[in-house]
Structure 1
Amino acid sequence: MFETIYAQVVLAVAVLVVTFAFLKGDEPERMGAAAYAIALLATTMIRDGTSLSVPRWGVMALEIVLLVVFLGIAWHSRRAWPVWAAGFQSLIVTGHLLVAANLRPPSDAFATVINMSNYGLLIALAVGTFWAWQERRAAAMGSGEI
């Protein structure tokens, strides 16, 4: 799965974003990063080498669970990034549902939707972590606790 340089670079970016969220984020960012990391590892472990035109029920179930987690974070958080992450994750789930419903989207289009949605999700997590970090720093400066 990580045979190409491109796949390795994307994995490295995902690891950096998750690490950044764990180090500088608040509880919602850490929960989102943990859920994303667990889903990434689980998806990697259950990947069976089938084509994208065949429903992969295990991967689809993981993506649905990740969507529910982001929706839960969005429901309980006052921040905007979980809503964006849930939106991008819903695109991924929709792609899986199209394959499961046998609507046969082109596999290149399906892979593009999954990849671009994952990029959007990682960007949302990184931006949300950055703003949470900056809010915490500003609050510390305002109270004189630098």
Structure 2
Amino acid sequence: MLKAAIFYMALAMVVGFAFARGGRDERLAAIAMLMAAAATPLLVQQQFAGPEAGVILVDIALFLALSAIAMQSTRFWPLWAAGFQLGAVVVHFASSRLPELIPAAYAETLVIWSYPVLAALLLGAVLEGARGHRQ
């Protein structure tokens, strides 16, 4: 419960900063991350005792959204964010190949990949804010 609260506080701060200081790319990524964070808890069915189909779809959708942002962006951070999100997608496929994977390890590994994605967005917003204008 505390770990979830810490993640949601970090998400709120980064998203708020992205909207306040970021440009178009940062705002789009922030919206995508908010949507993914809101959808994920609603789609958990097995408490990560096996592959979570709904969560897999959310993570793939976020990866595709971040990849689309990266493909049209002139910035480097969306590529890093998409790459980190790909790490989360790979965790899902590993869980399907390792049925003996402990549910807590599966869930925790997904959370761990969320922080570098947030860090990439934060860096993008900081750099965009330092440029002194928004797209």
The normalised TM-score by structure 1 is 0.83
**Higher RCO (Cα < 8 Å, 6 or more apart):** 2
Distance in 2 (alpha carbons) for counterparts of 1:119 and 1:71: 17
Where does 1:98-113 land on structure 2 (aligned, <5 Å)?
98-100=94-96, 102-104=97-99, 105-113=101-109
Deviations 1:104-140 (A, max 9, x none): 3444443342122111111111111000111125x9x
Q: Counterpart of 1:11?
A: 8
Stretches of 4+ aligned residues off by more than 4 angstroms: none
RMSD after superposition = 1.8
Q: Structure 1 unaligned runs (5+)?
A: 140-146
Percent of residue pairs identical? 31
2: distance between equivalents of 1:55 and 1:72? 26
Cα shift readout 1:17-63 (whole Å, capped 9, x = no counterpart): 11111111100000000000001101122223x23231111110110
1:89, CA displacement in angstroms?
A: 0.4
Counterpart of 1:143?
Answer: none
Instruction: Give the distance between the partners of 1:66 and 1:60, measured in 2 at CA.
Output: 10
- Change beyond 3 A, Cα 1:45–1:108: closer
TM-score, scaled relative to structure 2: 0.89
Residue of 69, 72, 94 corresponding to 1:73: 69
Partners of 2:92 and 2:104 lie apart in 1 by 13
Q: How far apart are the structure 2 equivalents of 1:33 and 1:89?
A: 14
